[in-house]
Structure formats: structure tokens, C-alpha cells
A and B are shown apart, each in its own frame.
Chain A
Amino acid sequence: SQQGEEDPQALSIQEGENATMNCSYKTSINNLQWYRQNSGRGLVHLILIRSNEREKHSGRLRVTLDTSKKSSSLLITASRAADTASYFCATVNTNAGKSTFGDGTTLTVKP
């Protein structure tokens, strides 16, 4: 299976609810990044969390990283219809010079 696998594959919630997406990975990383993609367009960077960090916040976004469990989660609070998109985590190994993406979580926020 892939490095950087997101769970669930699809999530549907009502506006105002919180959305939680999880990401698991297999190898050591330098950092982990979360991205958003609308309808097959370019990816928008959301948050970068380094391997020595445990939690990071940005507006309505909260990311956690547990390197012992090789997992990360993205929480979107008070969701809006505009948050409807696919969300990807990317694990980064700077020595290998590459970022590895999972297949994403498709979030639908119903108005």
C-alpha cells in the first residue's frame, strides 16, 4: 500500500460540523504536509508540520502528528460549503528529494 494513505476515502457532513481526516505512512519522514485540491485543479498548500512537532494550527485547521504511530490527522472545524474538496497528505523525505502523496479524502460539505 502507499505511503501517505488518507482515511476515510470520502466524507460527507453538514455545514457547521467538524471534519477529521487521517493519514498513515510507513517510512521515516522529515515533515508532513496537507494540501487541498478543487475539482482536479492545482493543489493548495494548507499546513506543513515537521517531524519534531506534535500539533499545528492555522485558522480553522488543526493538524496533529504522531511519529510513533506514523500517523497524522487534519481537523477542519465549523466546516463551510466552500471546504468541499479533496484533501491530501504528503510525506516528505528531504534526503530522497521527494514528496509522496496518498489518494486523498474527498470531503463534501452540504449547505
Chain B
Amino acid sequence: DAGVTQSPTHLIKTRGQHVTLRCSPISGHKSVSWYQQVLGQGPQFIFQYYEKEERGRGNFPDRFSARQFPNYSSELNVNALLLGDSALYLCASSQLGAGNTEAFFGQGTRLTVV
């Protein structure tokens, strides 16, 4: 079985641009969560979606948005990129809502904003 897949693996953007990151959960998993991990720190929670509805949101500005599609894949969108948005963006999927069962992480998308 394929694990959680994220695309692209690496991305370089310019300040002010927009970016879309994609995540495909493990087959049968209905919950997808997004995290931002800055170098040297732990992952910071951004969003959680379960059954296509937003179930949790972290302390991120409105420039960050996400959605979940009928096939449970998900997109994370970031507008008006800032240098500080440079990070590893991680997607995690789980069968149930976040935390009820173990979460499986993808390898992440390394975003560099220049």
C-alpha cells in the first residue's frame, strides 16, 4: 500500500507569490492534517480536515487555507508568501479524527521563499 504522498518534494518561490501543496492520504483514511516545521523546531499544527470538513485550525494567518476533496486528498494554499514561510510542510493522515488513531506522515514538501 502506498503511504502518504506529498507533492512537490521541493519548491522555491519568491516573496509575494502563491503556493499550493498537495497531499494524498493512505487509502481508507478520512482525516488529513497539515503541519509547518521550521528548521530546529517541532511541527506546528496548521489545519485538520475530517470527512471534508475543517475540524481544527492552528494559529496561522488567513494567508493559509486548505481544503479536502471527495477522494480525501487535500491541498494547502499559502498566499502572499513571506520569507518566514520557508519550512518543511508535513501532511499526516489517519483513519479517524486527529489523535484518535495513529497518524502517518508523508515525507513533506520543502518550501523555500526567496
- The residue that A92 contacts in the complex, of B41, B50, B88, B98, with Cβ under 8 A, is B98
B48 and A42 contacting across the interface, CB-CB below 8 Å: no
Q: Is residue A78 within 8 Å, beta carbon to beta carbon, of the partner chain?
A: no
Interface residues on B, range: 20 to 34
A94–B44 Cα distance when bound, in Å, is 16
A98–B92 Cα distance when bound, in Å, is: 11
Q: Known contacts A33-B103, A93-B99; is A103 also within 8 Å of B42 by CB?
A: yes
A42 touches B90 (CB 8 A): yes
Choice from B88, B97, B100, B102 contacting A40 with Cβ under 8 Å: B88
* A residues whose Cβ falls under 8 Å from a Cβ of B: 2, 4, 30-31, 33, 35, 40-45, 48, 88, 92-94, 96-104
14 more A-B contacts (CB under 8 A) besides A31-B99, A97-B50? A2-B42, A30-B100, A33-B99, A40-B39, A41-B107, A42-B106, A42-B107, A44-B105, A45-B105, A48-B101, A94-B100, A98-B33, A98-B56, A100-B45
